[in-house]
Amino acid sequence: MIETVIRAAVPEDLDAIAALHARARATYYESHIPEEAYAGEPELTRTREGWSRAVARADGSVLCAERDGELTGVAAFRAVDGEMTLTQLHVEPSHWRRGTGAALHDACLAAWRRAGVTRVRLDVYERNLRAQAFYAAHGWRPDPDRPREGSHLNLRLTLPYPAE
């Protein structure tokens, strides 16, 4: 059985990360928002630039999942307005339901625990029911203080136990 390997992202991953991000976003935005908002060369360039800034932080907050040398997922987190935020978690659609998302999520949890983080937030597109189910299964709950922002739902996770 081929195992998912989680590692820190490096600049050489940027093209693959941006392309994976674009494919994953298309699965939940398609037919809900204008295509130019999530697809096409200008959006791919913007996406790559955003990931480039995240990877350049070099603080281990961008993680890649690989199987047999192929990039199958990516996650990113950082402090936003003083609170830890899971800013991205994308899995290659052809690798859904193979444990990639869970492996990335577990790696994020481990990093947060090492850093002493006890609560994390994220936002998820309201029509992305697959992602909402994934997060609910991993303990994320609606944020009672800010349940939504526009077309996105805000979720919170309280880490179940302290750093080891």
Superfamily of domain 5-158: Gcn5-related N-acetyltransferase (GNAT) (3.40.630.30)
User: For tokens 């195992």, what's the residue?
Assistant: 3
Percentage of residues of the chain with pLDDT beyond 90: 55
pLDDT band with cut points at 50, 70 and 90 for residue 163: very low
| DSSP H or E segment with residue 158 | strand 152-158
How does the average pLDDT of the chain come out, rounded? 87
Q: Cβ distance 51 to 17 under 8 Å?
A: yes
Rounded distance between C-alpha atoms, residue 94 and residue 14, angstroms: 19
Tell me: the pLDDT tens digits for 48-99?
Answer: 898 899 999 867 799 999 998 899 999 999 988 788 999 999 999 988 888 9
Structure tokens at 163: 């750093």
Q: What is the pTM of this model?
A: 0.86
Q: Is the pLDDT of residue 16 over 80?
A: yes
Rounded to a whole number, what is the largest CA-CA distance in the chain? 45
* Domain range summary for the chain, segments of one domain joined by +: 5-158
